[in-house]
Structure 1
Amino acid sequence: MITSKLDLWHHALELSSALIALRRELHEHPELSHEESETASRVTRELQRLDIPYRAGLGGHGIIAELKGAKPGPIIALRADMDALPIQEETEIDFPSKRPGIMHACGHDAHTAMLVGAAALLSACKEQLHGTVRLLFQPAEEVNAGAAAMIRDGALDGVSEIYGLHNLPTLPAGMAATRYGALMGSVDRIEISLEGKGGHGAIPDQSVDPIVCASAIIQSLQSIISREVSPFEPVVVTIGSIHAGEANNVIPHYCRMTGTVRTFHPDVQAKLPDRIERIVQRIAEGYRCEATLYYIRQTPVLMNHDEQVKAVEAVIDDMLGSHSRATAQPTLAGEDFSIYLKDVPGCFFWLGSGPIENAEQAYGLHHPKYWLNEDCLTYGASLLADIARSRLAQLAGGGQ
């Protein structure tokens, strides 16, 4: 039985080898977004072993488990994502992905193992828990669909606060980083279709070239960043794909582009659809093309809540020492944990997963050679468990 922070940490150390084994098993068998059935099945076996009730098949392949303490109190949610990426692994580890073209290049295998570890730690101290810990094993984070789907299936019903983390290979294992307010950017998708008039590449005057129009639109979209948004408000508009034509001597009839739009302020995000629509339509008109813009909102800015950040910092300082806590730098990378934070107060933070000596030389997230220092598994499981334990006590008036 766990009765103190020291007991919790010692128990976490005892779980270390099991968490590493689980993470490696998941790493060898990655699954893409919306396909996480085997991963979910593996998690449910762990929950059954721990005798924690759960519901599976939520939000796709998501799982909601509930660990009820012996004492009355609120509900605190902890979340981990489970999906992998369409990346061919290039690491030299002994347990690489066994599925060609699919890799856990973002460490969601580690996040899943950490939450299983937190569940084991909390099970060992449930007699002292003032309320309920809801464990959210979420699918489809990489395509910004899982959080919303989980919410529709009741993930936040009755929840007072929610917490989550993401590993960061450029931060050494044994450290964590927090930030008040905006931590990660919004994520929106744009799809632009251009219709011109196809023809022979040697006779362009008899055609309407959608490729030339597309190139003008791509260049002009950057004027939003340089001339329509304050330099103190970060914005990124990136066209990531462009498809037109099949032959080198043919002007195609159609051109299609997709891109991503990132901001760091909700007000800026709200104004961008109209600005992008104006540029696309006016440029297309000037090049005699017909244009259609689909602006797809995906995730809002990830905004942490002050009280919950302060609570996380207290746990980090108490467990790892204040010298092991850094201030997180803002990033325009997105995270659909932001959708949970729109409805419920909480905190999302970075957990160091890099080498102890020189984390700056680590391969970053989504890289085919991404590598994770497995020492972070124990830290992540312990921090998540103690955040939930301590916040339940505080909210229920039970102190620490």
Structure 2
Amino acid sequence: MISLKENAYKIEGKLVEIRRHLHMNPELSFKEFKTGKYVSKYLNELGITVVQEIGKTGVLGILEGVKEGKVVALRGDMDGLPIIERNEVPYKSKNQNMHACGHDVHTTCLLGAAILLSSIKDSLPGTVKFIFQPAEEINEGALAMIEDGVLENPKVDAIYGLHNSPNISVGNVGVKCGPLMSAVDTIKIKIYGESGHGAVPHKARDAIVAASAVVQSLQTIVSRKISAFETAVVSIGTIHGGQANNVISDYVEMTGTVRTYNAEVRKSIPKIMGRIIKDICSALDTEGKLEYEFTLPAVINDEYITRIGKKAVAKISGKESIVIPDLSGGGEDFALYQEKVPGCFYFLGVRNESKGIVNEWHHPKFDIDEKALPIGAGILAQSALEFLTD
């Protein structure tokens, strides 16, 4: 079996150059026009077939080996965030946006994987599809690419991807079978009452009092309705109601998020939540309505695909580099691909305390240790090779 470790480190300088170019020129979701052109140009120069404007602003690269065989996809996201960067570095963003979640890293690693795999095309037993995805930050890019057929023609058998982790030291890689990142659901609660003077609340129906009771009771879903051996989070993030200090409010609107890992637990929560809202509001002479959106499923790594992935990681960065990451409450639309084909998602360590690289995603001083770039590129490429030859 070919190991791509040596070649991955040989292109480290090139990867740094790519990453810094992308970092200085971030673009927002579904506006990755220049990024897409940059990626397409690079793929064309490697002799990889390019499909543009898939999933609106996404790019697909297709590398066919000399032999027919299985098809594996590698995915990296491209979009930045509307954050003004506060790092004083030579590669600081040139506009009002920032790669504060490290999608420049993911795009770079995927381009690096394309460089590595195109160099062994003559011995590649199958096909690799490189998915450069837009709009992960707004949870719409993966769905757009899937609807445009990115997993078809040829049909994908497995998929690998990665996300940088500022909580894992550079040189280490988080690999875990089963749940990795939570499902993300969005809730909106509307409570209707009847206005009145604040001095005579008994002649009104107070939506604020009902909303307060609802917020408190929703917390019992996790403590009393979900098994202690399962994990869930219910959080109310906004609450709006009332027009004046001496007027009983007739309407309150709240929004929040629900995070789960188990599909059955996720499925049960809307019913439980709806009953709590309805009964509490009824007891307080108000009416409550719940709007529940299943936004993203959980990222759940397939056992077989992850086992192959561990072999790939061991060949690139050593068995000792593999760590079992904590569950993340963050969401990732990579999960939508995993609903269609088995997949594995890695956490690439980018933390380096000695260099002050410790900030979390979406922080204006987020940065990465660039020593992670050849590791990420190597792992993606080696994962594809291991799967195709297994």
Q: Normalising by the residue count of structure 1, what TM-score does the alignment of the two structures yield?
A: 0.90
Whether the 8 Å contact between 1:179 and 1:329 is mirrored in structure 2 is no
1:70 aligns with 2:99: no
1:59 aligns with 2:40: no
| Separation in 2, partners of 1:145, 1:177 | 25
Whether the 8 Å contact between 1:85 and 1:104 is mirrored in structure 2 is yes
Structure 1: stretches of 5+ with no match in the other structure:
395-400
| Separation in 2, partners of 1:82, 1:163 | 16
* Structure-1 residue corresponding to 2:21: 25
1:131 aligns with 2:126: yes
Name the CA shift for 1:138/1:232 in 2 (closer, same or farther; >3 Å). same
* Structure-2 residue corresponding to 1:389: 385
* Structure-2 residue corresponding to 1:47: 43
Q: Once structures 1 and 2 are overlaid, which stretch shifts more, 133-142 or 245-254?
A: 245-254
| Separation in 1, partners of 2:98, 2:284 | 42
| Separation in 1, partners of 2:119, 2:353 | 30
Alpha-carbon shift at residue 246 of structure 1 (Å): 5.1
- Corresponding letter in the other structure for 2:315: D
Alpha-carbon shift at residue 249 of structure 1 (Å): 4.6
1:185 to 178, 182, 185: 182
1:38 aligns with 2:41: no
Q: Give SS of 1:174's match.
A: coil
| Separation in 2, partners of 1:41, 1:250 | 57
1:120 aligns with 2:112: no
* Structure-1 residue corresponding to 2:284: 287
What is the percentage of aligned positions where both structures have the same residue? 43
Query: What are the Cα deviations for residues 124-175 of structure 1, in whole angstroms up to 9, with x where unaligned?
Result: 1111101110011112222222222211111222111110111111111111
Alpha-carbon shift at residue 286 of structure 1 (Å): 2.5
> What is the aligned-residue RMSD (CA, Å)?
2.1
* Structure-1 residue corresponding to 2:218: 221
Q: Once structures 1 and 2 are overlaid, which stretch shifts more, 140-149 or 243-252?
A: 243-252
| Separation in 2, partners of 1:246, 1:351 | 49
Q: Give SS of 1:232's match.
A: coil
Query: What are the Cα deviations for residues 251-308 of structure 1, in whole angstroms up to 9, with x where unaligned?
Result: 4443222111111211101111101111112222223333221110122222211111
Q: Give SS of 1:117's match.
A: helix
Q: Give SS of 1:31's match.
A: coil
| Separation in 2, partners of 1:345, 1:114 | 21
| Separation in 1, partners of 2:263, 2:10 | 44
2:158 to 161, 167, 171: 161
| Separation in 1, partners of 2:197, 2:53 | 53
Structure 2: stretches of 5+ with no match in the other structure:
none
1:85 aligns with 2:81: yes
Query: What are the Cα deviations for residues 162-199 of structure 1, in whole angstroms up to 9, with x where unaligned?
Result: 10111111111111111111112111111112223345
Matched positions, count: 388
| Separation in 1, partners of 2:116, 2:164 | 20
| Separation in 1, partners of 2:208, 2:95 | 37
Whether the 8 Å contact between 1:172 and 1:357 is mirrored in structure 2 is no
| Separation in 2, partners of 1:11, 1:106 | 27
| Separation in 1, partners of 2:243, 2:95 | 31
* Structure-2 residue corresponding to 1:398: none
- Corresponding letter in the other structure for 1:261: V
* Structure-2 residue corresponding to 1:148: 143
Alpha-carbon shift at residue 218 of structure 1 (Å): 1.3
* Structure-2 residue corresponding to 1:378: 374
* Structure-2 residue corresponding to 1:324: 321
| Separation in 2, partners of 1:291, 1:172 | 47
* Structure-2 residue corresponding to 1:397: none
| Separation in 1, partners of 2:290, 2:25 | 38
Q: Give SS of 1:237's match.
A: strand
| Separation in 2, partners of 1:28, 1:249 | 52
